[in-house]
Amino acid sequence: MNILLIEDEYSLADAVAETLKKEKFNVCIKTNGEDGEDEALTENYDLILLDVMLPKKNGFEILKYIRNQKIKTPVIMLTAKSEIEDKLNGLEHGADDYITKPFSMRELMARIKAVLKRTNNIDETNCFEYGDIVLDLKSAKLKCNDNEIQISGKELELLEKLLLNKNQILSRDTILDRIWGYESDAEYNNVEVYITFIRRKLKLINSNVNIKAIRGVGYKLEQKLD
């Protein structure tokens, strides 16, 4: 899962990022409000950690703007301010939670997991369906009618992302960031290779579902018509 951290205190940003990476999150750090807002608008994140006091644009302004742009990504505000009015200001502008500095990393992780679970960005559903296929995350099996095949690793993660976004195109950049991580040196051909693997498995179980390549854009699921 991907987290955007907008924080101008470099030592704190590094400490938070290190903790998140140990918990298997991918982290992107922005250290000023304008860059942070631009990144938030990409909607490539499962959660945003947003400091209030930032150079160029403060956290309240960013939060208000991205909510006005219909960005629904969960936001946890990070701030040294503890006054009730500041907390209310953040919550009224669409923050999902508010944590006051200094905070422990255990508390931060607990808040993150609670918000993700509450906003359904930690999906407890074990199965995803589209067309004639069912992806069972618990057993790591891809099923079509009476046929099934094992699917795991990057193939499983990639197909899950496609199913979660079944009504839209996923760009190759988004796939790289979400599956391989922001700091990975993976290239576009990595995506193409795993798309090919999944297509083969769909064919092996006689599914009518295919992964369509949108030239120069990305990929989306489609059902083949008879």
CA dist 166 and 125 (Å) reads 16
Domain boundary among 93, 118, 143: 118
Q: Six-digit token pair at 125?
A: 């559903």
CA dist 171 and 150 (Å) reads 26
Q: What is the mean pLDDT of residues 112-122?
A: 77
Number of domains present in the structure of the chain: 2
SS3 for 85? helix
- Is residue 114 located within the same domain as residue 133? no
- Is residue 98 located within the same domain as residue 189? no
| Best CA proximity match to 194, nearest among 164, 220, 159 | 159
**pLDDT score recorded for residue 75:** 94
CATH number at residue 156: 1.10.10.10
- Is residue 162 located within the same domain as residue 212? yes
- Is residue 73 located within the same domain as residue 165? no
Domain boundary among 84, 118, 152: 118
- Is residue 145 located within the same domain as residue 59? no
> What is the Rg, in whole angstroms, of the alpha carbon atoms belonging to the chain?
19
Quote the domain boundaries for residue 203. 127-223
- Is residue 76 located within the same domain as residue 154? no
**pLDDT score recorded for residue 151:** 92
Instruction: Give first-to-last CA distance, the chain, whole Å.
Output: 37
**35-77: pLDDT as tens digits:** 999 999 988 888 999 998 899 999 999 999 999 998 889 999 9
- Kindly compute the dihedral angle of the four CA atoms of residues 34, 20, 51, 79, in this order, to the nearest 10 degrees: -170
Domain boundary among 100, 118, 136: 118
- Quickly count: other Cβ atoms within 10 Å of residue 171's Cβ: 17
